[in-house]
Amino acid sequence: MSADLWPYVVLMLVGFLPNEAWRLVGLVLARGLNEQSEIVLWSRAVATAILAGVVAKLVVFASGSLATIPLGVRIGAVVIGFAAFLLIRRSPLAGVLVGEAVLLAGGYFFAP
């Protein structure tokens, strides 16, 4: 195998495959659960809260190139992306695309 491909192989073995194994186990175990049961609703709420916390941390305490974009633009992109999500039939793809477009436009026009 080429030396250039080894980082990708390691990434697959260490990052992707273990995660996918646990997702498969979760899929098999959750197959018979009632979607309205308290444990499923609780786990969905916890997953949503964790995702919201990660997004908030990325927006407020940005690093790298994202830190060069003003905080107001980053927050505005999240708000407008969420509004697009709600307005376009609760489409996550629409929310992400609109939020990203706002972030890129704001970074282009307002970044130093």
Report how far residue 69's alpha carbon sits from residue 62's, in angstroms, rounded to the nearest whole number. Answer: 9
Mean pLDDT of the chain: 89
In this prediction, residue 72 carries a pLDDT of 93
Q: Is the pLDDT of residue 1 over 70?
A: no
**How much is the average pLDDT of 96-100?**
95
User: Cα separations (Å) of 47 from 9, 41, 42, 44, 98?
Assistant: 29, 10, 9, 5, 23
* Tokens encoding 110: 């307002």
Q: What proportion of the chain, given as a percentage, has pLDDT over 70? A: 98
* Residues with Cβ within 8 Å of residue 108, at least 6 apart in sequence: none
Q: Tell me the pLDDT tens digit for each residue of 15-39.
A: 888 888 888 888 888 888 888 989 8
Q: What is the pTM of this model?
A: 0.69
Report how far residue 27's alpha carbon sits from residue 82's, in angstroms, rounded to the nearest whole number. Answer: 28
Three state DSSP letters for 2-30 = CCCCHHHHHHHHHHHHHHHHHHHHHHHHH
* Residue whose tokens read 């969905």: 44
